[in-house]
Structures are given as structure tokens and as C-alpha cells.
A and B are shown apart, each in its own frame.
Chain A
């Protein structure tokens, strides 16, 4: 088993590192070029735009996802009737195929006759061409992506909230603390470990966005939604520039590694049940 992992994870990882130092075309010989690919990346205007788009996606998705998931988890962790139903409904998209989800939303955001624009027309508003507008395409992808995975973080928050000891709330009530104060002084500090974990995991996940971009925009219009993984895929599997694509992939790896190290460094703040 461990051997299997070594062969299928470590070997390709090292291989990719080597490839990132070569000019590796689809056919013909690979040529060792040292750090040339990385130098080329630094001067690649498209790369910087793609990286910017990727961070734009993450910066939009992560706060929206975390805040909404927490906001929903608060009532759903309670005992009001009907919460099981809401929990299920909000969780359903998590297990649906991202591709199907994106296809349906792409259709609902269609320009002339999509559901969204028809709805707007009802109120006398002429809707924009959402996915063909370079300023709107990314926000649409962000919002639909948030809806897709919201339920996952929500469930994690519910689990964390249900472990907060009831005596703490009792004590806060006796002290005359209001809802808002109780939330910030009791609830939030008690779930920081989950909060921290979900934030890091959501950031890492958002840096790897691909499927919804592939289906909804193909990186367009005019490259406004082209993200890092899409760029890697394009370079590797459409243009067959395997060396350059490997260097790009290593840049992604470096970013994720950095985030993971931050998480590891701060782990004492959130790990409560290890081993």
C-alpha cells in the first residue's frame, strides 16, 4: 500500500519537478533548460492575469462561503422544528455533480431567455449577458460555486456549534449578555478551531477551481475567468507544453504548501482531538 502511494504520488511529484526544468514537447526529445520555465513564468503576462483571477475567485468565494455557512449553521444547530429539512436541502448540492450543477446554472444565466433574466424582465429590468460580460462572469461563477459547497462548511459548523457546552450560554444569559455579545464572546471563540480549519481548506479548494470554469465560461470572456488550473490544463493537455505546465503546477503547489505550513504552524490553536 505504502509502496503504491510512493509510486503514484512521490515519483510523479519528483518527475513533475524534473519536467518543470525542461522543455518537454508532445513529441520529440525533452531538453533540460534549468530554471528557464520559471523565468518565463515571471515574465508571462497571461500568468499574472490568471493568478490575479484565481485570487479574485478565492477572495470572493471564501468570505461569502464562510459567513453564509456560519449564519446558516446558527439556527440549524438549534432545536427548532423543521431544521432537518433545511439542513438536507442546503446539503444536497454538495453531493451533486459539479458539472451538472454548473450546466444548469449556465442555462439559468443564459442571456436572452435564461431564467434569471426572465425573472428580471418581470420587474421590467433587462438583464445583462452575465457570462459574456467580462465584469460579471467571475461574480456569477463565484456565487454559483458558493451555493454548490456551502452545505459542507455548514455541516462542519453545526457539528462544532453543538459541542459548545450549554453552561457557557447559560452563564452568558445570567450575565445579561445579548445575542450579539454572546455570539462574539462565547460562540465564536469556542469554534475557532473549526473556523480556522474550514477557512484554510476553503482557500485551498478555491485555488484549485476548474470544473465550473470549464463548463460555464471556458476561461472567457477575454480571459476574465481564466484561473490557474485552467491555464495549467490548457498548457499541458491542449497545447502539450508539458514542461511549462509542470512549472505552473509547481507554482500552484508552492502556494498550497505555504498555506498548509501556516495551518501546521498554527495547529495548536485548533487541534483538540489528535490521536
Chain B
């Protein structure tokens, strides 16, 4: 019995190690290549630890492409989208959870049903509309659409589910004390909903930071590009400078990884809690 237990544990560790190695390999290879001399990028046998280490790749990337602009675009767009989504969907989520109004159930169901509309369907008329009012090659669609689009709907859903679970008595007590709806919302409900809001913040930021389809449609001006779009254009050009592309990729990935390692427990639990993606 004990030996079989040990063998099974060994098998489990072996399987996990293999999968983890495969998962880590792209990251290792990315970092390794980002520090190589151009001539050594495809050298055989592959060098995991480059010699010499060429730090200047990073500095060069910043000169070749307006990398600081892509960075700034990604950061400020994701920040605005996150702030907007959390603000609007917590308000709407609260309303759906607590304020009874005529047809609220039906409206909520309709709202939920929009979650299955593929972005590609509404993207076409939305593109024409944005072109009509002159928002092509601006960041407006990248900020407004996620807040009121599928991301926002998801936010309302998450927040509503959370608010519903909070006992009503808490509010009733406050109401007797003469608190207004808004006051109850800001000083009682919102602080209680912190875990849900935190999950929503991470999700929304991540989705916006990694978004590709919308920037591809709306942005063609180089200085307005976000990181994923800018990086993808690299691979189109004949004769990719892999060492530069990899250092750019490292720079695009690093902030997320740092945040993740600090917030991983909360984040993974958040995924499990909401049980949905996107």
C-alpha cells in the first residue's frame, strides 16, 4: 500500500514537471534569445545561456520602435477601461441586485444573453459607425467599447452575484438610520464587495492589455498602437530580428508577470470563483 502510494506520487510529480517544463520553455527561450547577438540567435546547438550576454538589445529596441509610446498607450487604455468598467458595472450590478424595478429580471436576462454575441459580429457595424463619426485611428473605440461591451456585461454579472449574497438586513439598518441609496452603496456595499471588485479589476486590465482584435481594426497609425498589435507587426516584416522581437516581448510581458506573482493567489481564486472567462 505504501509503495503504491509512493509510486503514484512519483508519477504525479513527473507528469507535473514535464508539463511545467513545457510551459516555462517559451519564457526561458524568449529571455535567452532577447540577450543574444543576432548571429547567435540560430546557432547550433541551442544556447540557453547566451555568451556573450547582449544587454544592448533592450536599449536598441527602444530606439528602433517607439516602444515607450506602445507601453504608455497600453497602460493608459487598460487603466481607463478598468476604472470605467468597475465603476459602471458595480453601479449597475448593485441596481440589479437590490433596486426592484419593473422588468428588471427580463432586462438582466437580455443583458446576459448579449454575452454570447461574438465580438466579430458587432465589430463590423461598429467599425463603420466609428468611421462615420471620425474615431478611426483614435483610442476612443478601444476605451469605450470594452466598458459598455461584453467586458462590461461580464462585470455587471459578477458584481450582481456578489451583491445578492450580502444580507439585506445590513442595508435596512442603514436605511432606518436615514442613509440614502447612494450612501449605502458607497460606504457599505462597495467596501464589502472588495474581493469581487479586485477580481474584476485584474480581469479587465488583463483583457484590455492583451486585446488584439480591436486595435487591429481601429489602429493603423504606428504611434497609436498598443503592445500586442505593435509586436505582431514585427513578424510580418521579412527577416525578423528575433533578438529584438524577443526583448520587446520580454518587456511587454514583464509587468504582467510581476503583478501576477504578487496577486496570484487572489487571481487564481478569482478565476475559480467566477468560473467564467472573458
Contact = CB atoms under 8 A, between A and B. Distances in A.
Contact of A256 (B107, B116, B246): B116
B45 interface: yes
Closest 5 CB pairs of A and B: A113-B42, A159-B272, A15-B125, A12-B122, A4-B148
11 contacts: A80-B12, A86-B19, A90-B19, A91-B264, A99-B210, A100-B253, A147-B22, A155-B268, A159-B273, A250-B121, A256-B116
B16 A75 contact: yes
B257 interface: yes
A105 B156 CA distance: 36
Given A106-B235, A252-B118, A76 B91 contact: no
A181 to B, nearest CB: 15
A16 B121 contact: yes
B33 interface: yes
Nearest to B271: A155
B132 to A, nearest CB: 12
A98 B212 contact: yes
A29 to B, nearest CB: 13
A9 B88 contact: no
Interface in B234-260: 234-235, 240, 242, 245-246, 249, 252-253, 256-257, 260
A242 B124 contact: yes
A100 B111 contact: no
A47 interface: no
Contacts of A159: 272-273, 275
B44 A113 contact: yes
Interface residues of B, number: 90
B23 A90 contact: yes
Nearest to B104: A2
Interface residues of A, number: 84
A125 interface: no
B217 A92 contact: no
Contacts of A95: 206, 210, 256, 260, 267
A5 B164 contact: no
Interface stretch (A134-142, A182-190, A205-213): A205-213
A19 B272 contact: no
Interface of B: 8-9, 12-13, 15-16, 19-20, 22-27, 29-30, 33, 41-46, 88-89, 91-92, 95, 107, 111, 114, 116-129, 144-145, 147-150, 152-153, 156, 164, 206, 209-210, 212-213, 216-217, 227-229, 231-232, 234-235, 240, 242, 245-246, 249, 252-253, 256-257, 260-261, 264, 267-268, 271-273, 275-278
Contact of A99 (B43, B206, B212): B212
A197 B275 contact: yes
A8 interface: yes
Contacts of A205: 277-278
Given A4-B88, A99-B212, A249 B249 contact: no
Interface of chain B: mostly helix, strand, loop or mixed = helix
A246 interface: yes
Contact of B277 (A16, A201, A215, A242): A201
B125 A100 contact: no
A58 interface: no
Interface stretch (A36-44, A48-56, A116-124, A164-172): A116-124
A107 interface: yes
Given A72-B19, A92-B260, A252 B117 contact: no
A101 B156 contact: no
A108 B148 CA distance: 38
Nearest to A114: B42
A262 to B, nearest CB: 12
Q: B19, B118, B206, B261: which has the most chain A beta carbons within 10 Å?
A: B118
A239 interface: no
B105 to A, nearest CB: 10
Contacts of B92: 1-2
A257 interface: yes
B125 A8 contact: no
A5 B216 CA distance: 23
Contact of B124 (A19, A98, A112): A19
